[in-house]
Amino acid sequence: MQKELFNIENKVAFITGGGRGLGRQIAEAYASSGCHIAVCSRHLDQCEETAQYLEEKYGVKAKGYSCNIQSENEVNELVNQILSDFGQIDILVNNSGATWGAPVEEMPLEAWEKVMNVNLTGMFLVTKAVGKQMIERRSGKIINIGSVAGIKAEPPEVLNAIGYSTSKAAVHHFTKDLARKWARHQIYVNAIAPGFFPSKMTKHVLAERGEEIKKHNPLGRIGDDHALMGAALYFASPASDFVTGQVLAVDGGSTL
């Protein structure tokens, strides 16, 4: 029973920002379950290295692609290429993200716009392109990567990135709204809101305040390389077939 509930063998997952960090962790969780993997980011070398690693370790088909998800033309071309290479996309993980740390009164407009364009517009463009074939097939799992920053307001000493926080709150509502719109097509849309994990985005904050952040976390720690995998597998698999429009915080209890 458990194996059937979490079975994604021979499914195809497309993960944006999948060449490193949390995206790569999710890609590995899926590949270890027999799922074929397409990963993209602006850094083709990272995506190709990740794809090669997954193919060699787990024996699945995996390919890396380069894409600027802020460009509708590039997104549409990429999705068509993935469909040509794999035949279908069963699971979409919108993981690409950007941030910019600065006090509100000093944040440049271009910084705000960059964060919004990647975290929201890019997610919209990818979801729109992938969603069309999911609607045709009347099947699909979409997992958006939000953040606890979009659930609670942190003091500026911990997180001073209002564009990022605002965009992630919008990701959560996008998830709920789209889940309502596409439920009729048998497409499930859920979100994961990670707490603090080691990543390029959090490197500076954790270096300066990591011990204090751990001290205020109910579980007394930050996320590790495996903490997100279970939630990602749950939302991608039949185990979540009666769950849509939900935002799951994977944060050690920091939003309590």
CB 15 within 8 A of CB 228: no
Residue with tokens 């440049």: 108
106: alpha, beta or left? (left if phi > 0; alpha if psi -120 to 50): alpha
Amino acid at 171: V
Q: Is 164 a catalytic residue?
A: yes
**Active-site entry in 30, 65, 164, 188:** 164
96 touches 21 (CB < 8 A): no
Q: Mention every residue, 6+ apart, whose C-beta is less than 8 A from residue 197.
A: 21, 22, 222, 223, 224, 227, 228
Q: Which amino acid is at 96?
A: S
Query: Which residues 6+ apart lie within 8 Å of 76 measured at CB?
Result: 129
Sheet holding 12-16, edge to edge: 62-66, 36-41, 12-16, 91-94, 140-145, 187-194, 247-250
d(CA 168, CA 152): 11
| Active site (catalytic) residues | 164
